[in-house]
Amino acid sequence: MQLSQLLMGLNYTLQGNGDVEVEALSCDTSTVRPGAMFFCLKGDNYDGHDFFRKALGDGATAVVCQHKLDTKATQIVVDDTRAFMSLVAKRFFHNAVDKLKVICVVGTNGKTSTTYLLDAIFNKAGYNTGVIGSNGVFINGHRYESKLTTPDPIELNYWFYQMYLNKVHFVFMELSAHAIYYKKMFGIVSDLTIFTNFSQDHLDFFCDMKHYGQTKKSCFCKQSTKIAVVNNDDELGKEIAAQTNLPLVTYGCNKADVVATDVQIKTDGIAYLLDLYGEKAKVDYSLCGKFNVYNTLAASTVAKLYGIGIDKIVKGLQEVSYIEGRNETMFRQDGMRIVVDFAHTPDGIVNILSYLKSTCRGNLIVVFGCGGNRDKFKRPLMAKAVSQFADFAVVTNDNPRFESPSSIANDVVAGLSCSYKVVLNRSQATQFALSVAKVDDTVAILGKGAEKYQEIKGRKYPYCDVDVVHKMLNKQGEQ
């Protein structure tokens, strides 16, 4: 695509030759190829402006920057490279996102589950669907790997374009707080945005809960979305509902437009009376835990807004027996229950463990750790949440990244008040938990969910909690 086509109507100052062909976009020097436009992004640890010469040496034909660079190469000087990159990426991929119905899900917990549930309902109703989130990218059921919950704008718009080519009607995507802050959806107005809930996370980045909450609230405006669907049982949700100028629908278990009453939390699922804009149905789902009452309510609310009947909504949700890495349950031959869950925040841990404790006939054993180089303030809070429900805890590695695993563990155990053992090797920690668990016990393995790796000192090593458990159970079965 000609540079002039990409830049048409945008605000910038051009230095050098404007008559060049742009064949690719890149914001990472490792992905630059001949004909690429390179975006100099400022990050916490690196500044892309320091690497423009490498990008040019690798064949970049143009550089986007926030100040004039010492080069005769084509450079586009802008006020905000991140916002500009989002606009250019959208145009480079033929504005494909404008031809799709995009539903965003915002919140601390429940984003992945809600996108999965929406996907199930809309598939049942006959629509082609796409999903973008922490478990990857799905196009009409086919899965593709993606590094981030919300990909960077270049990759994100690439996936939108692939979905358009594959005749996708609806896209359900997780929109993380980091993605909002970094303007990954700048220039895109989603058709609808769901707010699930708000609790502590990412304070290493956002510094305090006020800033973190304001970031999530900021996307509920006309520049970002057309309709708001909000959990009215959540305090931040109530603020959004009271302050937004968008068309609004609320859901919850108390006062809301869409309500769940007579809620039953069972060992094998959830049941409640659904009041969907006056239409009522008794629902019974295989998904477990109070948190899934809210996730299913959010999905039902959105489906109804797009004209899907209550019967198809209920049938679609009834076909979801589990969500990968979210309360994913296995059983040992003797009946002992093992649950793998992504819970990595204090609130997420309370949600899953309160359910597991209420349905556990024996002891609840919890295997967990905390991520390195992330919010240290939540470590004692996560430990406190575990102590509230666990009979025994095994403290282990999560993704230590560049931080000392023993240092992370020390921060965790300082907040534990239940009995515990530290086993830093995650596989060995899981093996230990299974070895001490008896017939009626439950072992909960928290923090990684469906992740397929463990990040240690800049490298991602293959690791999956579910696979590890299956191998251990199979080995025990052979003995």
Q: What is the pLDDT of residue 340?
A: 97
Q: What is the pLDDT of residue 198?
A: 87
Q: What is the helix (H) or strand (E) element at residue 77, kind and residue range? A: strand 75-77
Q: Could you tell me the residue ranges of all domains in the chain?
A: 3-81, 96-318, 328-478
Q: Are 226 and 246 in contact (CB under 8 A)?
A: yes
Q: What is the helix (H) or strand (E) element at residue 14, kind and residue range? A: strand 13-15
142-144/136-139 β-pairing: antiparallel
- Assign 191 to helix, strand or coil: coil
Q: What is the pLDDT of residues 28-57, one digit of tens each?
A: 999 999 999 999 998 877 899 999 999 999
Q: What is the pLDDT of residue 424?
A: 98
**Angle ∠(379,381,382) on CA atoms, nearest 5:** 65
Mean pLDDT by 10 residues, the chain (479 residues): 94 93 95 96 87 96 96 96 98 98 95 97 97 96 91 97 98 94 95 90 71 90 97 96 97 96 94 95 95 97 97 96 92 95 93 95 97 92 97 97 96 96 98 97 97 94 97 77
Q: Are 310 and 276 in contact (CB under 8 A)?
A: yes
Nearest-angstrom CA–CA distance, 403 and 456: 8
β-sheet with 62-65: strand ranges across: 13-15, 75-77, 62-65, 36-39, 24-26
Report residue 59 CA to chain centroid gap: 34
Q: What is the pLDDT of residue 209?
A: 78
Nearest-angstrom CA–CA distance, 151 and 28: 13
Name the pTM for this structure: 0.90
Nearest-angstrom CA–CA distance, 430 and 167: 43
Residue 442's DSSP bridge partners are: 337, 364
DSSP string, 347-379: HHHHHHHHHHHHT-SS-EEEEE---TTS-TTHH
Q: At what angle do helices 153-165 and 81-92 cross, to 10 degrees?
A: 20
Nearest-angstrom CA–CA distance, 442 and 450: 19
For 459, what's the count of Cα atoms within 13 Å in the CB-facing half-sphere?
A: 3
- Alpha-helical runs (H) found in 226-337: 235-243, 290-305, 310-318
Tell whether the torsion through CA atoms of 343, 348, 350 and 352 is positive or negative.
negative
Nearest-angstrom CA–CA distance, 48 and 26: 11
> Which has the closest alpha carbon to 38: 11, 9, 69?
69
CATH classification for the domain delimited by 3-81, as one of 1.20.950.20, 3.30.1490.20, 3.40.50.880, 3.40.1390.10: 3.40.1390.10
Q: What is the architecture, at CATH level 2, of domain 96-318?
A: 3-Layer(aba) Sandwich (3.40)
Tokens encoding 360: 């556990």
- What fold, for 328-478? Protein-Tyrosine Phosphatase; Chain A (3.90.190)
For residue 32, give the DSSP letter.
Answer: -
422: exposed, middle or buried (Cβ count in 10 Å: 0-12, 13-18, 19+): middle
Nearest-angstrom CA–CA distance, 316 and 125: 8
For residue 234, give the DSSP letter.
Answer: S
Q: Are 150 and 178 in contact (CB under 8 A)?
A: yes
Nearest-angstrom CA–CA distance, 426 and 456: 12
